[in-house]
Structure 1
Amino acid sequence: MSRQIRIDFVSDVVCPWCVIGYHQLAKATRETGIGIEVHWHPFELNSGMAEEGENLREHLAAKYGTTLEGSIKARARLAEMGAALGFTFNYADDMRMVNTFRAHQLIDWAEDQGRAHDMKLALFAAFFTRRENLNDISVLADSAEGVGLDCAAALAILESGGRVEAVRQKEQFWTSRGVTGVPAMIFERRHLVTGAQGEENYARILQQLVDAQTA
């Protein structure tokens, strides 16, 4: 039996295409029977975001020039794609974009306990499905408790800033290696794949890597 394929997944918890990309990848591994070992790494789409955040639609208009019509179409497309993959995008007009540095600190802490993957997926759902504020440490601590981690310990690590330097170093590691946008997946530490490529393409990549193992 071949070993699992390592995937270093650089992403942000407020990136919808990171959600889509992960679930496409997960579907590909289910359909091919090829195991994967996902390692999550931090990336901030909006590192300079103000504490109170911004209205999501206004933020996208200012940052990318997204029109109202374009926003409506994009949200409908994401909702449709997400539903087909078993994920719910629950957009609303008052939804806000927030800074995610604290969320990444929480994931980093959860990694020590073998729960980074669960924490990452929980935060995807917290933001996109339940529209929770991922810059609020009480919301983050509750999310940690939801995946079986200690709520008080999560709150303490976020309040202390004990993971600040570790997360900054990890962010710098990936940006220094050319990762400027997400999702970015590095297969077997060698092959960079950017964007959500679709389950068929991921299945093909996984099969090629397995074939290379046995060649």
Structure 2
Amino acid sequence: MEFAIDDIWLPHEIHPETPKEGRPMTDLFPRFDIDQVTMTCRQRGEPYGLEFADMHTLSNTHLALEAAEFARDEGRYHDFHRAVFRAYFTEGRNIGDMTVLLDVARQCSLDADRLHRALAEARFAKRVTEGSEEAKARGVTAIPAFFFEGGPTITGAVSEDRFREVLRSLSDL
């Protein structure tokens, strides 16, 4: 997943130890907690037309983060970001799977063959590592993470009201 600085999304792996094939969410969290998070995401996403699938598998996000960097260089970052989000959270697909990432890339009019070569060569691995290092230095432990100059950091799936509170407090400065 990623976090944002200066309206720029940076790559960050929250669980880099996740095997390439992914792992059951229940390896990390009790099923009750997973279901509660899913319910909260569904409630918060519904007014915006965002749908969330049941959460069963935690994907290894390294390749997806590298693919996002490829998309950034191609000028398709935001399209790819939304599409990979939809693939994982709405469709329940494994975004650590090369086939899934190439399919998402095609949906975003990216050259899947060039992306495949870039991922095979780990061309964007350094950017992912650097993004994770910056996130750790800033104390990021959950995603998404939003930083506001002179304000608090917002992490995780929070309500729109929380963003409004922070923005109001900053405009009062």
TM superposition score category, shorter chain reference: 0.7 to 0.9
Cα distance, 1:177 vs. partner?
A: 2.6
- Tell me the equivalent position of 1:39: 8
- Tell me the equivalent position of 2:136: 175
- Secondary structure of the structure 1 residue equivalent to 2:130: helix
Structure 1 residue ranges without an equivalent (≥5): 1-8, 12-36
1:132-147 equivalences under 5 Å are: 132-147=93-108
Distance 1:136 1:189 in 2: 39
- Tell me the equivalent position of 2:34: 71
Letter aligned with residue 60 of structure 2: N
Q: Is the 8 A contact 1:110 1:116 kept in 2?
A: yes
- Secondary structure of the structure 2 residue equivalent to 1:206: helix
- Tell me the equivalent position of 1:125: 86
- Give the structure-2-normalised TM-score: 0.84
- Tell me the equivalent position of 1:60: 28
Identity %: 28
Letter aligned with residue 91 of structure 1: D
Cα distance, 1:52 vs. partner?
A: 2.1
**Which residue of the other structure, out of 52, 55, 64, is the alignment partner of 1:103?**
64
Letter aligned with residue 201 of structure 1: R
Write out per-residue CA displacement over residues 83-130 of structure 1, whole angstroms, 9 at most, x where no aligned residue: 2331111116xx321210111101111111232222212111101111
Q: Is the 8 A contact 1:138 1:155 kept in 2?
A: no
- Give the structure-1-normalised TM-score: 0.69
Distance 2:88 2:116 in 1: 18
Relative contact order higher in (CA < 8 Å, ≥ 6 apart): 1
- Tell me the equivalent position of 1:86: 49
Distance 1:195 1:96 in 2: 18
Q: Which moved more, 1:40-49 or 1:114-123?
A: 114-123
Q: Which moved more, 1:203-212 or 1:105-114?
A: 203-212
Count matched residues: 171
- Tell me the equivalent position of 2:162: 201
